Amino acid sequence: MNAVFFLILFALALIAAGFAAWPLWRRKTRPPMARAVLALALTLLILGIGGGTYLVLGRPALGVRALTGPSDTDLAGLVGTLSRKMVRNPADERGWVLLGRGYLSLNDPSEAARSYGEAIAIAERKGRKDAELYSAYGEALVRAGGGAVGSEAETAFRKALAINAKDPGSRFFLGLALANRGKKDEALALWQGLLADTPANAPWRADLVDRIAVLTAQSNGGAPDISAMVAGLAERLKQNPADAPGWQRLIRAYTVLGEKEKAQSALGDARKALAGDLNGLAAVEAEAKTLKLTD
């Protein structure tokens, strides 16, 4: 499609140059050959100056996009297109859900929460309740709040669990809310039930195991050697520094152990290791804010 755009651009420039060269061609004071050479020279001069200036100072990619529409790989463009579509068709529940997912992928949880809220309102008007929708709404609120499970998010998770008691996201975040309020036994019961239902290859399993171990240690329940576990995690991160969830777990573990300097040092290492991973870095920063390591 880029070739088509530049062909169109060249054609338009050629027409413009032709208009400029036409008066020279019509003048009868010079022989036909001289007039043709002058007209051709002027045309090439205009094309060279105009095209060169555009390529240097202009933005050809914007022109291509205007002709072809947003690329399938341009997520921001697709989200913007869908957002405009929802203004015209606000009763499209699935459209709001897709828009919420898109905003989460763009690390804009506030807009994601608003989109999921619109979808929930439509579903409730139809007399239908969707556990996954409530859970997604609650998670977006948590991310928008910097990792804290607020009252509105907790209400969404409880609604999801009332529909589907096995919803994994709701069990995880509700356990986090209970743990933060000091209700460790309730949180442990919720998380241990979640762990029993979690597949061995689930990406969140290791994080869940670590949280259960730390919470058990806080409750004096005979947990495994937390210090050894943390040391092993730190060593694994040296080998695989691109592991954002791992950095979250390490920072959290150091904080729980009261080793704030190590937590701050790990946060600094995580920022360097995840400099090219915006989503991973945002998750680590949210964790640090929740643990009061940053303002």
In the chain, where the domains are located: 2-68
pLDDT at 57: 40
CB 153 within 8 A of CB 293: no
pLDDT at 125: 95
Reported residue count of the chain is 295
Q: Tokens for 112, please give them.
A: 């994601």
Q: Which residue has the tokens 């060249």?
A: 10
Overall pTM surpassing 0.85 (yes/no): no
Q: Taking Cα atoms as reference points, which of 188, 219, 184, 205 lies closest to residue 249?
A: 205
pLDDT at 235: 80
Please, which residues have CB within 8 angstroms of residue 196's CB and are 6 or more apart in sequence?
none
pLDDT at 220: 63
pLDDT at 230: 77
Question: Taking the chain, what is the end-to-end CA distance rounded to the nearest angstrom?
Answer: 48
- What is d(CA 278, CA 44) in angstroms, rounded to the nearest whole number? 47
Q: What does the pLDDT profile of the chain (295 residues) look like in tens digits? A: 444 444 554 554 555 545 544 454 455 554 555 545 445 554 555 545 454 444 444 444 434 333 344 444 577 888 888 899 999 999 999 999 999 999 998 889 999 999 999 999 999 999 999 999 999 999 999 999 888 899 999 999 999 999 999 999 999 999 999 998 989 889 999 998 998 888 877 877 878 887 887 788 777 655 456 676 777 788 888 888 888 888 888 888 888 778 889 999 999 999 999 998 888 888 888 888 888 888 7
pLDDT at 23: 53
